[in-house]
Structure 1
Amino acid sequence: MTADAAETTPTTATQSVLTMSNVEVVYDKVFLAIKGVSLEVGQGQMVALLGGNGAGKSTTLKTISGLLAPERGEVTRGQVHFMGEDLAPLGPSQRVDRGLVHVLEGRRIFGHLTPEDNLLAAFSLKSDRRRYQQLRDQVYTYFPRLKERARTKAGYLSGGEQQMLAIGRALMTEPQLLMLDEPSLGLAPVLVEEIFSIIREINANEGVSVLLVEQNAAAALEIAHHAYLVENGHIVMTGEADVLRQNPDVQEFYLGGAGKVDYHNVKHYRRRKRWLA
Protein backbone atom coordinates (compact mmCIF):
# COMPACT_ATOMS: atom_id res chain seq x y z
CA MET A 1 0.00 0.00 0.00
CA THR A 2 1.44 3.40 -0.94
CA ALA A 3 1.46 6.46 1.31
CA ASP A 4 -1.11 8.13 -0.98
CA ALA A 5 -3.37 5.12 -0.76
CA ALA A 6 -3.05 5.13 3.02
CA GLU A 7 -4.21 8.73 3.16
CA THR A 8 -7.22 8.36 0.89
CA THR A 9 -8.64 4.91 1.54
CA PRO A 10 -12.05 5.24 3.26
CA THR A 11 -12.66 3.16 6.36
CA THR A 12 -16.07 1.84 5.33
CA ALA A 13 -18.97 2.60 3.02
CA THR A 14 -21.02 3.79 6.00
CA GLN A 15 -21.86 7.44 6.56
CA SER A 16 -18.88 9.43 7.80
CA VAL A 17 -19.07 11.15 11.16
CA LEU A 18 -15.60 12.67 10.85
CA THR A 19 -13.30 13.33 7.91
CA MET A 20 -9.86 14.92 7.90
CA SER A 21 -8.47 15.83 4.50
CA ASN A 22 -4.77 16.62 3.95
CA VAL A 23 -4.43 18.44 7.28
CA GLU A 24 -1.18 20.10 8.28
CA VAL A 25 -0.55 21.63 11.71
CA VAL A 26 2.26 24.00 12.65
CA TYR A 27 3.35 24.99 16.16
CA ASP A 28 4.88 28.44 16.76
CA LYS A 29 4.78 29.02 12.99
CA VAL A 30 7.88 26.82 12.72
CA PHE A 31 7.42 23.18 13.70
CA LEU A 32 5.34 21.05 11.31
CA ALA A 33 3.67 18.52 13.62
CA ILE A 34 1.35 16.65 11.27
CA LYS A 35 1.80 16.53 7.51
CA GLY A 36 -1.04 15.86 5.12
CA VAL A 37 -3.04 13.69 7.51
CA SER A 38 -6.28 12.25 6.14
CA LEU A 39 -8.55 9.92 8.07
CA GLU A 40 -12.19 8.99 8.40
CA VAL A 41 -14.47 7.70 11.14
CA GLY A 42 -17.72 6.10 10.05
CA GLN A 43 -21.01 6.13 11.91
CA GLY A 44 -20.80 3.76 14.88
CA GLN A 45 -17.19 2.83 14.12
CA MET A 46 -14.31 2.32 16.52
CA VAL A 47 -11.15 3.66 14.90
CA ALA A 48 -7.69 3.44 16.47
CA LEU A 49 -4.88 5.92 15.82
CA LEU A 50 -1.60 4.21 16.67
CA GLY A 51 1.99 5.37 16.88
CA GLY A 52 4.89 6.11 19.20
CA ASN A 53 5.68 9.20 21.26
CA GLY A 54 5.78 12.35 19.16
CA ALA A 55 4.16 10.73 16.14
CA GLY A 56 1.37 13.33 15.97
CA LYS A 57 -1.51 11.40 17.54
CA SER A 58 -2.47 13.92 20.24
CA THR A 59 -2.04 16.82 17.82
CA THR A 60 -4.52 15.12 15.50
CA LEU A 61 -7.11 14.92 18.28
CA LYS A 62 -6.54 18.53 19.33
CA THR A 63 -6.97 19.61 15.72
CA ILE A 64 -10.40 17.95 15.70
CA SER A 65 -11.51 19.28 19.10
CA GLY A 66 -10.18 22.80 18.53
CA LEU A 67 -7.58 22.78 21.32
CA LEU A 68 -4.53 23.78 19.29
CA ALA A 69 -4.58 27.52 20.01
CA PRO A 70 -3.56 27.35 23.72
CA GLU A 71 -0.43 25.45 22.60
CA ARG A 72 0.31 27.97 19.81
CA GLY A 73 -0.68 25.52 17.11
CA GLU A 74 -2.69 26.21 13.98
CA VAL A 75 -4.05 24.36 10.98
CA THR A 76 -2.20 25.67 7.92
CA ARG A 77 -3.69 23.34 5.33
CA GLY A 78 -6.59 20.95 4.86
CA GLN A 79 -10.08 20.60 6.28
CA VAL A 80 -11.87 18.81 9.10
CA HIS A 81 -15.59 18.04 8.79
CA PHE A 82 -17.87 16.65 11.49
CA MET A 83 -21.30 15.41 10.39
CA GLY A 84 -20.67 17.23 7.12
CA GLU A 85 -19.95 20.59 8.79
CA ASP A 86 -16.63 22.42 8.46
CA LEU A 87 -15.18 22.72 11.97
CA ALA A 88 -12.80 25.61 11.19
CA PRO A 89 -15.18 28.42 12.28
CA LEU A 90 -16.22 26.64 15.50
CA GLY A 91 -14.60 26.99 18.92
CA PRO A 92 -14.08 24.04 21.29
CA SER A 93 -17.35 24.53 23.20
CA GLN A 94 -19.32 24.76 19.96
CA ARG A 95 -17.79 21.48 18.83
CA VAL A 96 -18.87 19.85 22.09
CA ASP A 97 -22.39 21.18 21.49
CA ARG A 98 -22.32 19.45 18.09
CA GLY A 99 -21.58 16.11 19.80
CA LEU A 100 -17.80 15.94 19.53
CA VAL A 101 -16.02 15.32 22.86
CA HIS A 102 -12.34 14.87 23.65
CA VAL A 103 -11.12 12.97 26.73
CA LEU A 104 -7.63 14.36 27.20
CA GLU A 105 -4.57 12.37 28.17
CA GLY A 106 -3.80 12.37 31.87
CA ARG A 107 -7.29 12.00 33.39
CA ARG A 108 -8.28 15.70 33.59
CA ILE A 109 -10.93 15.73 36.30
CA PHE A 110 -11.89 18.12 39.11
CA GLY A 111 -10.04 16.48 41.97
CA HIS A 112 -11.65 18.67 44.66
CA LEU A 113 -15.17 17.63 43.57
CA THR A 114 -16.92 14.30 44.03
CA PRO A 115 -17.54 12.03 41.04
CA GLU A 116 -21.21 13.02 41.25
CA ASP A 117 -20.32 16.72 41.03
CA ASN A 118 -17.89 16.04 38.18
CA LEU A 119 -20.72 14.45 36.21
CA LEU A 120 -23.03 17.35 36.98
CA ALA A 121 -20.38 19.86 35.86
CA ALA A 122 -20.23 18.17 32.44
CA PHE A 123 -24.00 18.20 31.95
CA SER A 124 -25.08 21.12 29.77
CA LEU A 125 -28.84 21.28 30.45
CA LYS A 126 -28.70 22.12 34.14
CA SER A 127 -32.48 22.69 34.37
CA ASP A 128 -33.37 19.24 33.02
CA ARG A 129 -33.02 17.19 36.20
CA ARG A 130 -34.66 14.09 34.73
CA ARG A 131 -32.26 13.93 31.78
CA TYR A 132 -29.31 14.45 34.10
CA GLN A 133 -30.40 11.52 36.24
CA GLN A 134 -30.84 9.31 33.18
CA LEU A 135 -27.33 10.07 31.91
CA ARG A 136 -25.80 9.76 35.39
CA ASP A 137 -27.44 6.37 35.84
CA GLN A 138 -26.15 5.32 32.44
CA VAL A 139 -22.61 6.25 33.52
CA TYR A 140 -23.04 4.31 36.77
CA THR A 141 -24.25 1.29 34.79
CA TYR A 142 -21.03 1.24 32.77
CA PHE A 143 -18.87 2.22 35.75
CA PRO A 144 -20.49 0.85 38.93
CA ARG A 145 -17.31 1.65 40.87
CA LEU A 146 -18.06 5.36 40.41
CA LYS A 147 -21.44 4.91 42.06
CA GLU A 148 -19.76 3.27 45.02
CA ARG A 149 -17.35 6.23 45.29
CA ALA A 150 -19.89 8.92 44.34
CA ARG A 151 -19.36 10.94 47.56
CA THR A 152 -15.56 10.64 47.68
CA LYS A 153 -13.41 13.48 46.40
CA ALA A 154 -12.30 12.53 42.91
CA GLY A 155 -8.68 13.30 43.75
CA TYR A 156 -8.67 10.30 46.08
CA LEU A 157 -9.84 7.85 43.43
CA SER A 158 -7.40 5.35 41.95
CA GLY A 159 -5.92 5.99 38.52
CA GLY A 160 -8.33 3.54 36.92
CA GLU A 161 -11.32 5.10 38.67
CA GLN A 162 -10.24 8.57 37.56
CA GLN A 163 -10.02 7.35 33.97
CA MET A 164 -13.52 5.90 34.30
CA LEU A 165 -14.72 9.25 35.62
CA ALA A 166 -13.10 11.12 32.72
CA ILE A 167 -14.93 8.89 30.25
CA GLY A 168 -18.14 9.14 32.28
CA ARG A 169 -18.00 12.94 32.16
CA ALA A 170 -17.68 12.76 28.39
CA LEU A 171 -20.80 10.59 28.20
CA MET A 172 -22.75 13.28 30.09
CA THR A 173 -22.45 15.47 26.96
CA GLU A 174 -24.28 12.84 24.85
CA PRO A 175 -21.48 12.61 22.25
CA GLN A 176 -21.77 11.38 18.70
CA LEU A 177 -17.98 11.04 18.53
CA LEU A 178 -15.93 10.13 21.59
CA MET A 179 -12.19 10.84 21.23
CA LEU A 180 -9.97 9.14 23.80
CA ASP A 181 -6.30 10.09 24.21
CA GLU A 182 -4.22 7.30 25.77
CA PRO A 183 -6.88 5.88 28.15
CA SER A 184 -4.49 3.08 29.15
CA LEU A 185 -1.70 5.43 30.25
CA GLY A 186 -0.24 4.45 33.63
CA LEU A 187 -2.79 1.72 34.32
CA ALA A 188 -2.22 -1.90 35.29
CA PRO A 189 -2.99 -4.45 32.54
CA VAL A 190 -6.10 -5.73 34.35
CA LEU A 191 -7.53 -2.19 34.47
CA VAL A 192 -6.65 -1.59 30.81
CA GLU A 193 -8.57 -4.72 29.88
CA GLU A 194 -11.57 -3.63 31.97
CA ILE A 195 -11.70 -0.09 30.61
CA PHE A 196 -11.23 -1.17 26.99
CA SER A 197 -14.03 -3.72 27.43
CA ILE A 198 -16.33 -0.93 28.66
CA ILE A 199 -15.34 1.33 25.75
CA ARG A 200 -16.33 -1.49 23.39
CA GLU A 201 -19.68 -1.82 25.19
CA ILE A 202 -20.36 1.91 24.93
CA ASN A 203 -19.56 1.84 21.22
CA ALA A 204 -21.81 -1.17 20.61
CA ASN A 205 -24.72 -0.28 22.91
CA GLU A 206 -24.95 3.48 22.39
CA GLY A 207 -23.85 3.67 18.76
CA VAL A 208 -21.24 6.27 19.71
CA SER A 209 -18.39 6.52 17.22
CA VAL A 210 -14.97 6.31 18.87
CA LEU A 211 -11.56 7.63 17.80
CA LEU A 212 -9.01 6.01 20.09
CA VAL A 213 -5.42 7.23 20.35
CA GLU A 214 -3.15 4.60 21.86
CA GLN A 215 0.45 3.52 22.22
CA ASN A 216 -0.82 0.15 23.47
CA ALA A 217 -1.37 -1.15 19.97
CA ALA A 218 -2.25 -4.68 21.07
CA ALA A 219 -5.12 -3.51 23.29
CA ALA A 220 -6.40 -1.00 20.72
CA LEU A 221 -6.40 -3.46 17.82
CA GLU A 222 -8.41 -5.92 19.91
CA ILE A 223 -11.41 -3.58 20.08
CA ALA A 224 -11.08 -1.35 16.98
CA HIS A 225 -12.77 -1.94 13.64
CA HIS A 226 -10.23 0.09 11.67
CA ALA A 227 -6.82 1.57 12.43
CA TYR A 228 -4.35 4.16 11.21
CA LEU A 229 -0.64 4.07 11.95
CA VAL A 230 1.07 7.46 12.35
CA GLU A 231 4.79 8.02 12.17
CA ASN A 232 6.58 11.36 12.16
CA GLY A 233 3.35 13.23 11.42
CA HIS A 234 2.37 11.05 8.46
CA ILE A 235 -0.24 8.32 8.06
CA VAL A 236 1.97 5.43 6.91
CA MET A 237 -0.54 2.61 7.07
CA THR A 238 -4.29 2.09 7.33
CA GLY A 239 -6.63 -0.85 7.18
CA GLU A 240 -9.00 -3.12 9.07
CA ALA A 241 -7.74 -3.81 12.59
CA ASP A 242 -7.50 -7.56 11.98
CA VAL A 243 -5.36 -6.98 8.89
CA LEU A 244 -2.98 -4.61 10.66
CA ARG A 245 -2.64 -7.05 13.55
CA GLN A 246 -1.30 -9.65 11.10
CA ASN A 247 1.12 -7.27 9.38
CA PRO A 248 4.73 -8.33 10.09
CA ASP A 249 5.99 -4.77 10.59
CA VAL A 250 3.20 -3.94 13.01
CA GLN A 251 3.88 -7.18 14.87
CA GLU A 252 7.62 -6.50 15.06
CA PHE A 253 7.61 -2.83 16.02
CA TYR A 254 4.24 -2.28 17.76
CA LEU A 255 3.11 -5.65 19.11
CA GLY A 256 6.34 -6.78 20.72
CA GLY A 257 7.58 -8.98 17.88
CA ALA A 258 8.05 -12.72 17.99
CA GLY A 259 11.43 -14.01 19.02
CA LYS A 260 14.80 -12.31 18.91
CA VAL A 261 14.89 -8.64 17.79
CA ASP A 262 17.14 -7.80 14.84
CA TYR A 263 18.54 -4.44 15.97
CA HIS A 264 20.11 -3.78 12.58
CA ASN A 265 16.61 -3.76 11.07
CA VAL A 266 15.28 -1.65 13.94
CA LYS A 267 17.97 0.96 13.30
CA HIS A 268 17.02 1.24 9.64
CA TYR A 269 13.28 0.81 10.14
CA ARG A 270 12.28 4.32 9.08
CA ARG A 271 14.15 3.99 5.81
CA ARG A 272 12.94 0.60 4.77
CA LYS A 273 9.16 0.65 5.62
CA ARG A 274 8.01 -2.40 3.75
CA TRP A 275 4.41 -1.10 3.59
CA LEU A 276 5.59 1.85 1.42
CA ALA A 277 7.37 -0.45 -1.06
Structure 2
Amino acid sequence: MLLGLNNVEVVYDRVFMAVTGVSLQVPGQGIVALLGANGAGKSTTLKAVSGLLKPERGLVTKGTLTFDGRDVTGLAPAERVRLGIVHVLEGRRVFPHLTPMENLMAATTMHGDRRAAAHRAEEVMERFPRLRQRARSEAGYLSGGEQQMLAIGRALMTAPRLIMLDEPSLGLAPHLVDEIFDTIAHIAAETGMGVLLVEQNADAALAIAAHGYLIENGRVVMSGPAAELRDNPDIRDFYLGGGGSVDYARVKHYRRRKRWLS
Protein backbone atom coordinates (compact mmCIF):
# COMPACT_ATOMS: atom_id res chain seq x y z
CA MET A 1 0.00 0.00 0.00
CA LEU A 2 1.45 3.39 -1.01
CA LEU A 3 -0.37 5.73 1.40
CA GLY A 4 -1.85 4.80 4.74
CA LEU A 5 -3.69 6.93 7.30
CA ASN A 6 -4.34 5.27 10.63
CA ASN A 7 -6.76 6.97 13.05
CA VAL A 8 -5.53 10.46 12.12
CA GLU A 9 -6.86 13.42 14.12
CA VAL A 10 -6.37 17.06 13.11
CA VAL A 11 -6.91 20.04 15.41
CA TYR A 12 -6.95 23.72 14.42
CA ASP A 13 -5.79 26.38 16.88
CA ARG A 14 -5.42 23.61 19.48
CA VAL A 15 -9.20 23.80 19.99
CA PHE A 16 -11.27 22.80 16.97
CA MET A 17 -11.05 19.15 15.94
CA ALA A 18 -11.63 19.01 12.19
CA VAL A 19 -10.72 15.35 11.66
CA THR A 20 -11.56 12.92 14.43
CA GLY A 21 -9.97 9.65 13.42
CA VAL A 22 -9.60 9.07 9.68
CA SER A 23 -8.20 5.78 8.41
CA LEU A 24 -7.80 5.10 4.70
CA GLN A 25 -5.44 3.54 2.19
CA VAL A 26 -4.35 4.41 -1.34
CA PRO A 27 -2.62 1.73 -3.44
CA GLY A 28 0.42 2.39 -5.58
CA GLN A 29 -1.75 2.45 -8.68
CA GLY A 30 -5.35 3.48 -9.26
CA ILE A 31 -7.86 6.07 -8.07
CA VAL A 32 -9.40 6.34 -4.61
CA ALA A 33 -12.25 8.80 -4.06
CA LEU A 34 -12.82 10.65 -0.78
CA LEU A 35 -16.41 11.90 -0.68
CA GLY A 36 -18.45 14.03 1.68
CA ALA A 37 -20.32 17.29 2.12
CA ASN A 38 -18.80 20.72 2.69
CA GLY A 39 -16.97 20.87 5.99
CA ALA A 40 -16.76 17.10 6.38
CA GLY A 41 -12.96 17.13 6.62
CA LYS A 42 -11.95 16.12 3.10
CA SER A 43 -9.57 19.00 2.34
CA THR A 44 -8.11 18.85 5.86
CA THR A 45 -7.30 15.19 5.30
CA LEU A 46 -5.38 16.01 2.12
CA LYS A 47 -3.48 18.81 3.87
CA ALA A 48 -2.54 16.43 6.65
CA VAL A 49 -0.96 14.16 4.02
CA SER A 50 0.85 16.94 2.14
CA GLY A 51 1.95 18.75 5.31
CA LEU A 52 0.09 21.98 4.53
CA LEU A 53 -1.74 22.28 7.84
CA LYS A 54 0.76 24.52 9.61
CA PRO A 55 0.00 27.75 7.67
CA GLU A 56 -3.63 27.36 8.78
CA ARG A 57 -2.60 26.63 12.40
CA GLY A 58 -3.57 22.98 12.04
CA LEU A 59 -1.79 20.03 13.61
CA VAL A 60 -1.97 16.25 13.44
CA THR A 61 -2.45 15.38 17.10
CA LYS A 62 -3.00 11.64 16.85
CA GLY A 63 -2.48 8.76 14.46
CA THR A 64 0.10 8.06 11.78
CA LEU A 65 0.60 8.81 8.09
CA THR A 66 2.79 6.40 6.18
CA PHE A 67 4.03 6.68 2.61
CA ASP A 68 5.60 3.62 1.04
CA GLY A 69 6.03 2.19 4.53
CA ARG A 70 7.71 5.29 5.96
CA ASP A 71 6.17 7.45 8.68
CA VAL A 72 5.90 10.95 7.15
CA THR A 73 3.84 12.56 9.92
CA GLY A 74 6.64 14.90 11.00
CA LEU A 75 8.15 15.67 7.58
CA ALA A 76 8.10 19.16 6.03
CA PRO A 77 5.99 19.67 2.88
CA ALA A 78 9.05 19.94 0.61
CA GLU A 79 10.37 16.62 1.90
CA ARG A 80 7.05 14.98 1.13
CA VAL A 81 7.18 16.34 -2.42
CA ARG A 82 10.64 14.85 -2.84
CA LEU A 83 9.27 11.48 -1.73
CA GLY A 84 6.62 11.72 -4.46
CA ILE A 85 3.55 13.27 -2.80
CA VAL A 86 1.94 16.16 -4.68
CA HIS A 87 -1.20 18.10 -3.80
CA VAL A 88 -3.33 20.03 -6.30
CA LEU A 89 -5.20 22.49 -4.11
CA GLU A 90 -8.82 23.50 -4.50
CA GLY A 91 -9.24 26.58 -6.68
CA ARG A 92 -6.33 25.78 -9.04
CA ARG A 93 -3.87 28.35 -7.57
CA VAL A 94 -1.83 28.96 -10.73
CA PHE A 95 0.62 31.86 -10.99
CA PRO A 96 -1.57 34.34 -12.91
CA HIS A 97 1.20 36.54 -14.34
CA LEU A 98 3.27 33.64 -15.71
CA THR A 99 2.70 31.79 -18.97
CA PRO A 100 1.72 28.10 -18.90
CA MET A 101 5.31 27.02 -19.60
CA GLU A 102 6.65 29.33 -16.89
CA ASN A 103 4.12 27.88 -14.46
CA LEU A 104 5.30 24.37 -15.29
CA MET A 105 8.98 25.20 -14.90
CA ALA A 106 8.31 26.96 -11.57
CA ALA A 107 7.32 23.58 -10.14
CA THR A 108 10.80 22.16 -10.75
CA THR A 109 12.92 24.59 -8.71
CA MET A 110 13.92 21.84 -6.28
CA HIS A 111 15.24 19.68 -9.12
CA GLY A 112 18.64 20.50 -10.56
CA ASP A 113 18.28 18.79 -13.94
CA ARG A 114 16.81 21.51 -16.16
CA ARG A 115 17.00 19.33 -19.26
CA ALA A 116 14.86 16.66 -17.62
CA ALA A 117 12.46 19.37 -16.43
CA ALA A 118 12.12 20.77 -19.95
CA HIS A 119 11.41 17.25 -21.22
CA ARG A 120 8.67 16.78 -18.61
CA ALA A 121 7.18 20.14 -19.58
CA GLU A 122 6.96 19.00 -23.19
CA GLU A 123 5.22 15.83 -22.07
CA VAL A 124 2.67 17.92 -20.16
CA MET A 125 2.08 20.09 -23.23
CA GLU A 126 1.48 16.96 -25.29
CA ARG A 127 -1.01 15.71 -22.72
CA PHE A 128 -2.80 19.09 -22.66
CA PRO A 129 -2.68 20.51 -26.21
CA ARG A 130 -4.87 23.43 -25.19
CA LEU A 131 -2.05 24.71 -22.97
CA ARG A 132 0.29 24.75 -25.96
CA GLN A 133 -2.29 26.72 -27.91
CA ARG A 134 -2.36 29.28 -25.08
CA ALA A 135 1.42 29.29 -24.64
CA ARG A 136 1.78 33.07 -24.98
CA SER A 137 -1.08 33.91 -22.62
CA GLU A 138 -0.67 34.72 -18.97
CA ALA A 139 -2.25 31.98 -16.86
CA GLY A 140 -4.66 34.46 -15.29
CA TYR A 141 -6.36 34.82 -18.67
CA LEU A 142 -6.91 31.09 -19.17
CA SER A 143 -10.37 29.62 -18.76
CA GLY A 144 -11.24 27.71 -15.60
CA GLY A 145 -10.80 24.39 -17.37
CA GLU A 146 -7.45 25.43 -18.82
CA GLN A 147 -6.26 26.59 -15.41
CA GLN A 148 -7.24 23.23 -13.93
CA MET A 149 -5.30 21.46 -16.68
CA LEU A 150 -2.33 23.68 -15.88
CA ALA A 151 -2.59 22.94 -12.15
CA ILE A 152 -2.62 19.19 -12.82
CA GLY A 153 0.21 19.55 -15.34
CA ARG A 154 2.28 21.51 -12.84
CA ALA A 155 1.80 18.70 -10.31
CA LEU A 156 3.01 16.17 -12.86
CA MET A 157 6.23 18.16 -13.24
CA THR A 158 7.42 16.80 -9.88
CA ALA A 159 7.23 13.21 -11.20
CA PRO A 160 4.93 12.18 -8.33
CA ARG A 161 4.07 8.71 -7.12
CA LEU A 162 0.87 9.99 -5.48
CA ILE A 163 -1.22 12.91 -6.75
CA MET A 164 -3.97 14.32 -4.54
CA LEU A 165 -6.66 16.38 -6.24
CA ASP A 166 -8.98 18.64 -4.25
CA GLU A 167 -12.27 19.39 -6.04
CA PRO A 168 -10.88 19.47 -9.61
CA SER A 169 -14.38 19.98 -11.05
CA LEU A 170 -15.16 23.03 -8.89
CA GLY A 171 -16.70 25.85 -10.92
CA LEU A 172 -16.36 24.11 -14.29
CA ALA A 173 -19.01 23.68 -16.97
CA PRO A 174 -20.38 20.11 -17.28
CA HIS A 175 -18.54 19.35 -20.53
CA LEU A 176 -15.26 20.48 -18.96
CA VAL A 177 -15.92 18.32 -15.90
CA ASP A 178 -16.15 15.28 -18.19
CA GLU A 179 -12.91 16.28 -19.90
CA ILE A 180 -11.04 16.78 -16.61
CA PHE A 181 -12.19 13.43 -15.21
CA ASP A 182 -11.29 11.64 -18.44
CA THR A 183 -7.85 13.21 -18.16
CA ILE A 184 -7.45 12.08 -14.54
CA ALA A 185 -8.43 8.53 -15.49
CA HIS A 186 -5.95 8.49 -18.39
CA ILE A 187 -3.14 9.85 -16.21
CA ALA A 188 -3.74 7.18 -13.57
CA ALA A 189 -3.81 4.42 -16.20
CA GLU A 190 -0.82 5.62 -18.22
CA THR A 191 1.54 6.64 -15.42
CA GLY A 192 0.68 3.94 -12.91
CA MET A 193 0.58 6.39 -10.02
CA GLY A 194 -1.79 6.50 -7.08
CA VAL A 195 -4.55 9.13 -7.07
CA LEU A 196 -6.51 10.38 -4.06
CA LEU A 197 -9.46 12.36 -5.38
CA VAL A 198 -11.57 14.65 -3.21
CA GLU A 199 -14.85 15.56 -4.89
CA GLN A 200 -18.39 16.70 -4.17
CA ASN A 201 -19.35 15.50 -7.65
CA ALA A 202 -19.64 11.98 -6.29
CA ASP A 203 -21.09 10.42 -9.44
CA ALA A 204 -18.16 11.61 -11.55
CA ALA A 205 -15.59 10.58 -8.95
CA LEU A 206 -17.00 7.09 -8.40
CA ALA A 207 -17.23 6.56 -12.16
CA ILE A 208 -13.42 6.60 -12.45
CA ALA A 209 -12.39 5.41 -8.97
CA ALA A 210 -11.76 1.83 -7.91
CA HIS A 211 -12.47 2.44 -4.24
CA GLY A 212 -14.24 5.11 -2.23
CA TYR A 213 -14.46 6.49 1.30
CA LEU A 214 -17.31 8.57 2.70
CA ILE A 215 -16.39 11.08 5.40
CA GLU A 216 -18.84 12.83 7.73
CA ASN A 217 -17.98 15.18 10.60
CA GLY A 218 -14.30 14.33 10.31
CA ARG A 219 -14.78 10.56 10.37
CA VAL A 220 -14.86 7.88 7.71
CA VAL A 221 -18.31 6.34 8.02
CA MET A 222 -18.37 4.08 4.99
CA SER A 223 -15.91 2.62 2.50
CA GLY A 224 -15.86 0.01 -0.23
CA PRO A 225 -15.50 -0.60 -3.96
CA ALA A 226 -16.70 2.38 -5.97
CA ALA A 227 -19.39 0.36 -7.75
CA GLU A 228 -20.89 -0.75 -4.42
CA LEU A 229 -20.98 2.81 -3.12
CA ARG A 230 -22.70 4.03 -6.29
CA ASP A 231 -25.34 1.31 -5.92
CA ASN A 232 -25.95 1.89 -2.22
CA PRO A 233 -29.44 3.48 -1.98
CA ASP A 234 -28.58 5.64 1.03
CA ILE A 235 -25.41 6.96 -0.58
CA ARG A 236 -27.29 7.64 -3.80
CA ASP A 237 -30.14 9.50 -2.11
CA PHE A 238 -28.08 11.60 0.26
CA TYR A 239 -24.78 12.09 -1.57
CA LEU A 240 -25.27 11.38 -5.25
CA GLY A 241 -28.39 13.48 -5.78
CA GLY A 242 -31.00 10.79 -6.08
CA GLY A 243 -33.53 13.42 -7.04
CA GLY A 244 -37.23 13.62 -6.41
CA SER A 245 -39.07 14.88 -3.35
CA VAL A 246 -37.73 14.29 0.15
CA ASP A 247 -39.16 11.19 1.86
CA TYR A 248 -38.87 12.19 5.52
CA ALA A 249 -39.67 8.69 6.72
CA ARG A 250 -36.64 7.45 4.78
CA VAL A 251 -34.53 10.28 6.16
CA LYS A 252 -35.43 9.21 9.70
CA HIS A 253 -34.75 5.58 8.80
CA TYR A 254 -31.37 6.51 7.32
CA ARG A 255 -30.40 8.43 10.45
CA ARG A 256 -31.26 5.41 12.58
CA ARG A 257 -29.23 3.16 10.32
CA LYS A 258 -26.24 5.49 10.52
CA ARG A 259 -25.83 4.69 14.21
CA TRP A 260 -23.90 1.55 13.25
CA LEU A 261 -21.51 3.72 11.25
CA SER A 262 -20.58 5.89 14.24
**Do the two structures share a fold, i.e. TM-score over 0.5?**
yes
* Most deviating of 261-270 and 49-58: 261-270
Aligned to 2:228: 243
Which aligned pairs between 1:161-240 and structure 2 lie closer than 5 A? Answer: 161-240=146-225
Amino acid at match of 2:209: A
Amino acid at match of 1:190: H
Aligned to 2:117: 132
Identity value in percent: 64
Contact 1:249 1:274 (8 Å CA) reproduced: no
The runs of 5 or more residues in structure 1 that have no matched partner are 1-15
Q: Secondary structure at the match of 1:167?
A: helix
Q: Secondary structure at the match of 1:237?
A: strand
Amino acid at match of 1:245: R
Aligned to 2:127: 142
Q: Deviations over 1:64-97 (max 9, x none)?
A: 0001111111111100001111112210011001
Aligned to 1:8: none
CA–CA distance in structure 2, aligned partners of residues 209 and 88 of structure 1: 19
Q: Secondary structure at the match of 2:2?
A: strand
Aligned to 1:3: none
CA–CA distance in structure 2, aligned partners of residues 96 and 145 of structure 1: 27
Q: Deviations over 1:208-231 (max 9, x none)?
A: 110000000000000001000001
Q: Secondary structure at the match of 2:97?
A: coil
Q: How many residues align?
A: 262
Deviation at 1:56, TM superposition (A): 0.3
Aligned to 2:16: 31
Which aligned pairs between 1:37-56 and structure 2 lie closer than 5 A? Answer: 37-56=22-41
Contact 2:105 2:118 (8 Å CA) reproduced: no
Contact 2:32 2:211 (8 Å CA) reproduced: yes
CA–CA distance in structure 1, aligned partners of residues 254 and 100 of structure 2: 45
Q: Deviations over 1:5-36 (max 9, x none)?
A: xxxxxxxxxxx110000111111111111111
Q: Deviations over 1:129-188 (max 9, x none)?
A: 331222112111221100111111000000110011000000000000000000000001
Amino acid at match of 2:6: S
Change (3 A) 1:270 1:91: farther
Contact 1:105 1:181 (8 Å CA) reproduced: yes
Deviation at 1:262, TM superposition (A): 1.2
Amino acid at match of 2:69: G
* Most deviating of 21-30 and 124-133: 124-133
CA–CA distance in structure 2, aligned partners of residues 126 and 44 of structure 1: 24
The runs of 5 or more residues in structure 2 that have no matched partner are none
Matched, 1:76 2:58: no
Contact 1:23 1:75 (8 Å CA) reproduced: yes
Deviation at 1:268, TM superposition (A): 7.1
After superposing on structure 2, the runs of 4+ consecutive aligned residues of structure 1 that deviate more than 4 Å are: 267-271
TM-score between the two structures when normalised by the length of structure 1: 0.90
* Most deviating of 23-32 and 252-261: 252-261
* Most deviating of 249-258 and 160-169: 249-258
CA–CA distance in structure 2, aligned partners of residues 45 and 58 of structure 1: 20
